[in-house]
Structure 1
Amino acid sequence: MLITPKDIIYQDESIIAVNKPVDLPVHKNDFMPADAVYLTKEVGQLTGVSVFPVHRLDAKTSGVIVLALTREIAGILSRQFEQREVKKTYLLVSKGLPGEGVFDSPVLIKKKKKRQAAETAYKTLSTVETGICYKQEVNVPISLVRAMPQTGRWHQLRQHFAMNRTDILGDTQHGDWTLNKIMTEVTGVKRLLLHAASLEFQHPQSGQKISLEAEIPEAFDRVLTQLAGLQYSLA
């Protein structure tokens, strides 16, 4: 199984939260085969109870996700997410020097084929200098960034950082393919470096504040360490 007891962050009679591994979809869709592996199936088999998703987390994103154990609880929690009452914090590794601020450009909603308002607060936590050079890029710095989306649009963080030329490393849909290739060649890491680090919300039964954290994957440190000072040039 892809989900094991050590992946469970929190569990009580109404909710369960897990540290979702990268490349695991949250639930089944029409494009998956009958025997496909997905989060709700894995957690259900591990715990022996039915679980219900209450918010989205892209398959390529790892980190904390909360699931409800009844449909009623799922409805209560879903409304908290819809009403933006949940504090979501992500960690990511980006190209360049994002600094600190708010991205507020509208992002594309794939299913609707139109753009909608979106807002992401962000702060650079650390930066490593490199000697990576390719195309028009020279000595590309790499940054560890904390991001707090105020809205929950499709691929919002990936789109916002790509729009501002601070692409998230490992993003094969919106990001810098050449830098992704260099990252994988040097470090062996082949994943989106985007991680749902924490969630804060109100417990659907007790009303108490719940704060959940998911440990940052080892791949983040490996990329930052191995790319620091790297001399790499593509003619």
Structure 2
Amino acid sequence: MRLLRVLKLVLFLGLAGLAALLLYGYARNHPEDLPWTDLDLAEPVGAFTGRKLVALGGDDAPACRALLDRAGIQFTALPARSTDTQCGYDDAVRVTGGAVDLGDRPAGLGTSCPVAAALALWEWHVVQPAALDHFGQKVAAIDHLGSYNCRRIYGRAEGDWSEHASANAVDVAGFRLEDGTRIGILADWDADGAESAFLRDVRDGACDLFATVLSPDYNAAHRDHLHLDQADRGEMGWRACR
């Protein structure tokens, strides 16, 4: 009986060691899936990428801009802006290059750095693959309704301030393909065919990168755009995706 217990212990330790080796190997090859590794925009989107993007806000603005620079994302750092209310920002950037230049439609879009970083990953890993899958061509431009807007949620007179009040959100209205075709949230969300499927794919993919993703499925106020933001919800870090 004692020998049997020893054999069981040896077998258990051997299996535990094998499992540890497998986990170590996975961790080395997939740092994006681990909460304690540094964010690298060149890595694939992983289980903790969204949380790491949110953590780039606030005092980590220099680190965020360094990440953009290392990833080859062309941008201009915007001057800090503040008001006598709860509005303003000190980490905003304007993306000025790339396959999708968010500064073009309309011109001059500036967002917080975490939003800009997430938009880049969204383009690379979600938007362009979905466009190729559904239409056989890439997206040439993203239409937006802006980012910074000094207001409370839904423009109410009271209540919490919107993430737009700190440029920590962007509203995406549609996409333009290389052949000039426009796919709009308002026109195509409930349409049949590839357009609607594409819009839902890019919405679902955004949920891995942004703290909040709201679409026409959420309410009528979002019938014409996707709201994407990087709200910091503390230790729990719960995410809103609809």
TM-score of the superposed pair, with normalisation by structure 2: 0.25
Task: Say which structure is richer in helix.
Answer: 2
Task: Say which structure is richer in strand.
Answer: 1
TM-score of the superposed pair, with normalisation by structure 1: 0.26
Q: Which of 1 and 2 has greater Rg?
A: 2
Higher RCO (CA < 8 A, seq sep 6+): 1
